[in-house]
Copies of this chain bind each other. A is one copy, B any other.
């Protein structure tokens, strides 16, 4: 794929003809060079919410990244199980969610909204369950469009069930097939934006986090994850093209956000989570190398780096996703948002109404504010961005690596690297250097008991070999062979 051939202002195509079966088996075991060799946004001051060099125009005319930030609403069931017996109740919940939230969106006159449907595992395991909900949501969205002109697009995010096999089977079998079936069916039904929180490499990454082992982090993400995503996203984009949908984006949720949550719980150092985040950009980048066009998945806090590299619009989430997880990135995340998401909230009653509706309202007001600044022009938008960034940057290492300057530095380190392994290494080194410099300069607060980890991480990186082959050999010797299947990654 020659990225420079992608037209600015991608439009969701009418239909296509390729099929998922037609993708030739490739040997992903060999080192793959990075496809993006330069930044789509080389200047920090061009990295801005609501604005992407390659916006995405949806069927009903949302221009994501085209000068406006849209709310992206996420929701899930209250505590209950999902089975054939409970599906009528499940369906009622989603019917209630979509009609109530979109009614409110209409009342608040939002210029458009992205609805994300992220399935719970049983809905991927039984695609008919997932598809029933897809249709309910699409009907609700169409009804809102007809009754009060509300424009919307559906993002479909099947839960990646492949890890239910232990060790995970990534490229075939029941879990893989049902997931592909759900993607196909959803795209056919009218889901426009295909996404996933893919889990390739996670089976080793959890333990790598616990041990604060950067070698295993890079192995999990930049060797295993990268190969899995290449395989997966080739196929997802074929499905998308066949049904006039697009591959939107992936996220290192199970990697970067697991690290962030563990850091919030004081399980692992924040400086470590910050470096993991930088590394995760290399893994998530692979979806854009294989045809994804954005908006990247909301919970990918690595998205600003990917926006700089690809020029694609990105979903972001921050303070208004506190319903789903606490974070040290509440405001700074908004600095780059093309859609602004609440990540996930259960359909439970709050005093003000059902929780998804309450969160729709909060997102709508957040977006209004950003859109006022955008509406006044670039200087005003940069002023708001400055406040959003400065609000968080000095208080947490994970926020610091999301300053516009850090984002450009890490993005540059990645595109300058020859392959994904060395890109991961370069991203880690760059993040580490920026943390050290900022702390030394008094611009970033790091608590004393974390400081030692800056040096120990550097030592870990110094011990990693230059060549990917050597690295893979070194890390495979360290990884628990019972936990993963190298051949599922083409190794």
CB distance from A486 to the nearest CB of B (A): 34
Cβ contacts A250-274/B at 8 Å (1 or 0 each): 0000000000000010000000000
Is A330 interfacial (CB-CB < 8 Å)? yes
Stretch at the interface among A16-24, A233-241, A343-351, A449-457: A343-351
Scan residues 90-113 of chain A and give those whose CB is less than 8 A from a CB of chain B: 104, 107-109
Q: Is the CB of A109 within 8 A of B395?
A: yes
Interface of chain A, helix or strand or loop or mixed?
helix
- Is the pair B368, A392 in contact by a Cβ cutoff of 8 Å? yes
**With the chains together, A388 CA to B326 CA distance in Å?**
25
Contact of A331 among B345, B352, B369, B390 (CB under 8 A): B369
Residues on B with C-beta less than 8 A from A372 are 386-387, 390-391
Q: Are A358 and B391 in touch, CB under 8 angstroms? A: no
- Chain B residues with Cβ under 8 A from A344's Cβ? 351
Tell me, in angstroms, the Cα distance from A118 to B319 when the chains sit together.
Answer: 25
Contact A325 B346 (CB under 8 A): no
Q: Tell me which residues from 328 to 379 in chain A have a Cβ below 8 Å from any Cβ of chain B.
A: 328, 330-331, 344-346, 348, 350-353, 355, 357-359, 361-362, 364-366, 368-369, 372-373, 376
- How distant is A320 from chain B, measured CB to nearest CB, in Å? 7
Do residues B321 and A352 form an inter-chain contact, with CB atoms below 8 A?
A: yes
**Is A352 a contact partner of B391 (Cβ separation < 8 A)?**
no
What is the size, in residues, of chain A's interface with B at 8 Å between Cβ atoms?
A: 50
Residues of A at under 8 Å CB distance from B?
76, 104, 107-109, 264, 318-326, 328, 330-331, 344-346, 348, 350-353, 355, 357-359, 361-362, 364-366, 368-369, 372-373, 376, 380, 383-384, 386-388, 390-392, 395
